[in-house]
A and B are shown apart, each in its own frame.
Chain A
Amino acid sequence: MQTCSNCNSQQLNGAIFCADCGASLFTPRRKETTMSLSAPMPSGVIDTAEPVFIPEPENEATGPSLTLVIMNSGRRIKLDISEDLLIGRKDNARGIYPDVDLGLDGGYDAGVSRRHAILSFKNHTYQIEDLGSANGTFVNGKRLAPQVAMVLANGDEVKCGTLLMRVEF
């Protein structure tokens, strides 16, 4: 038997995708740099009359948090956003260590710049700002002008180059 790294269920040897959650069992999971999907979201909180989404209870973080979901790898990254976060690609030689390293998710091929965009929490809103990246930052398909912050809504799709992500908070 093998264990699904996404949902922890037991699967037969020879299975290629988890029969319970559909995650790939075959591709070895990359070592995560930040906390990946752990406890499931609290259920039963959606009220059909007035949809209200209660975010995951914050653990160590005392400030606001945000989750980035990388589409191509399924990687979920939970971030403490009490300080601004740099999205980009790690470059040891130049000493660039972004808070969100998209090099792990095929960022190089997707045209993610080393210093691509900044995520921040200001005036009770989540914002993203493109840092003049080579291939652009897009929110729901619309390209951002460089150095102009855009407010994000829960569930928005953010693209750096061609790398697609979703924000949840």
Chain B
Amino acid sequence: MSPGIRLQRTLSRAILAESDEPQLLYVLLEATPEGMPAQLPKLPLNLCLVIDRSSSMRGDRLNQVKEAAGRIIDQLGPDDYFSLVVFNDRADVVVTAQRATNKGDLKRMIGGIEAAGGTEMATGMALALQEIQRPMLARGISRLMLLTDGRTYGDESQCVDIARRAQSRGIGLTALGVGNEWNEDLLETMTARENSRAQYITSAQEISKVFNEELQRMHSIFAQRVQLQIASRPGGMIRSLDRVRPFIAPVPIVEEADLRWAANLGDWPSSDVQAYLMEVIVPPLGPGDFPLLKISLRYDLPGANLRDQVSEEIVHANVRPVAQVTHEVDSTVKYWLERLVAFRLQANAWQSVEAGHLEEATRALQMAGTRLFEAGEIALAQTVQEEATRLLRSGSASEEGRKRIKFGTRGLMGPQEGGDPQGQR
């Protein structure tokens, strides 16, 4: 079997009712690697750590970062590049981009980092982007890994610009926020493109584990420059596309030509299952079987030296008279849709809070809580309800609550310390 990606699609309803109006169909697309050798040849990595060394990082947090960076260095191979940039009120290169040969020296350089001063993230990001582009890698995986525990002021849009520049050059950004004082909106925005993710680290002890997981992910990338293309029959439309596995995130999708939509899905690690949920508007159709969508996935398989591979899937609309159609919804589609709706509702709630519409925000959070409760996510539902109540009583939400909800509904929080005292249903 030749290596590639296998696509599997599930429709919200296998049979559609005939209609003289457009109707909505959900398509879940799951992708798994197949035919790949058990041991993938390792692609060279180019990793730059961008570390906040403001005074709030003093003590446990910075110590954990140093230890985590040391562990990463230990796991790098002879073809991998490593660099490290620190920032507070200004930015400095601590380790200039180089192969990880003298590991002892690298760790010593990192050991000397001290915490002091304020937080100016844009200067750190700019210097890191400069540094990470110095090695001329013919092929490989470049990633910026940012860790911060505080807020930067006045340079937020610069941070986003720099992130976008990196992403457009195939350099992904992993942004980690430690504690409760950092700006989750900013990190979310910075990582809202391919090859990027934001994560909430509740305690310094987790830093090492998270760094390590990211390295494993980078080491297991098997497909690069994955692009999704969807062609629709006339009258059809892709209303939205969201990733649901490994975590929930909206995916920008554009109609690049008449009835052809495209999205960039980035590099795929074999350690994560990829799944996407699409909302498709189906044109009015009478009874019959109609091709509705042609889904094409294009990608490179650098480990097998293959480029521009294609996997395809055709989705048909099976339309019958109204009387013959049940209203059953596929349970897997419903499972993911419930979580996606909860995620969207909490995102809307925070926007309403920004705009000063506290009534709307509370209603949206309450509904998100109901969706999560029905989805069986009891602990998260209770967190959402607590924040809705806090919002109702005091007019604002808590820093920690907001972060738990944003990242909990995405699926980007690991198991939390302390059980749920009220117990699970």
> Could you list which residues of chain A lie within 8 angstroms of chain B, going by C-beta atoms?
1, 11-17, 21-24, 26, 40-41, 43, 46, 48, 51, 53, 69, 71-74, 141, 153-155, 157, 159, 162, 164, 166, 168
Contact = CB atoms under 8 A, between A and B. Distances in A.
20 contacts: A11-B24, A12-B22, A12-B24, A12-B281, A13-B23, A13-B24, A14-B23, A14-B282, A17-B337, A17-B341, A23-B367, A26-B327, A43-B357, A46-B358, A46-B395, A48-B356, A153-B393, A154-B392, A164-B373, A166-B389
Nearest to B363: A21
Contacts of A154: 392-393
Contacts of A14: 12-13, 16, 23-25, 282
A21 B24 CA distance: 17
Interface in B336-368: 337-338, 341-342, 344-345, 356-360, 363-364, 366-368
Interface string B378-395: 000100010001001111
Contacts of B13: 14
Chain A at the B interface: mostly helix, strand, loop or mixed?
loop
Contacts of A11: 24
A111 to B, nearest CB: 11
Given A16-B329, A26-B334, A74-B366, 5 more contacts: A16-B337, A22-B364, A51-B395, A71-B381, A141-B421
B26 interface: yes
Contact of A155 (B25, B393, B425): B393
A13 B16 CA distance: 10
Interface string B314-347: 0000000000000101000010011001101100
A1 B422 CA distance: 41
Contacts of B341: 17, 22
B335 to A, nearest CB: 11
Contact of A26 (B19, B329, B363, B392): B329
A16 B12 contact: yes
A72 B373 contact: yes
Query: Which of B329, B337, B358 neighbours the largest number of chain A CB atoms within 10 Å of its CB?
Result: B358
A143 B389 CA distance: 20
The interface size bin for chain B is 35 or more
Contacts of B46: none
Contacts of B425: 162
Given A17-B337, A22-B341, A51 B394 contact: yes
Contact of A71 (B19, B357, B373): B373
A48 B395 contact: yes
B21 interface: yes
A15 B329 contact: no
A136 to B, nearest CB: 12
A40 B23 CA distance: 29
B369 interface: yes
Contacts, number: 91
A14 B25 CA distance: 6
Query: Which of A17, A43, A73, A168 neighbours the largest number of chain B CB atoms within 10 Å of its CB?
Result: A17
Contacts of A15: 24
Given A17-B341, A22-B345, A155 B422 contact: no
Contacts of B334: 16, 26
Nearest to A13: B23
A147 to B, nearest CB: 24
A53 B359 CA distance: 11
B17 interface: yes
Contacts of B364: 21-22
Query: Which of A12, A74, A168 neighbours the largest number of chain B CB atoms within 10 Å of its CB?
Result: A12
Contacts of A17: 337-338, 341, 371
A69 B12 contact: no
A101 B16 CA distance: 38
A21 B425 CA distance: 26
Contacts of A23: 367
B232 interface: no
B359 A43 contact: yes
Interface string B410-425: 0000000000011001
B363 to A, nearest CB: 7
Nearest to A110: B425
Contacts of B21: 1, 12-13
Contacts of A153: 393
Contacts of A72: 370, 373-374
B332 to A, nearest CB: 13
A71 B392 contact: no
B220 to A, nearest CB: 34
A9 B358 CA distance: 21
Given A22-B345, A141-B421, A16 B26 contact: yes
A13 B359 contact: no
Nearest to B386: A157
A14 B345 CA distance: 20
Contacts of A166: 385, 389
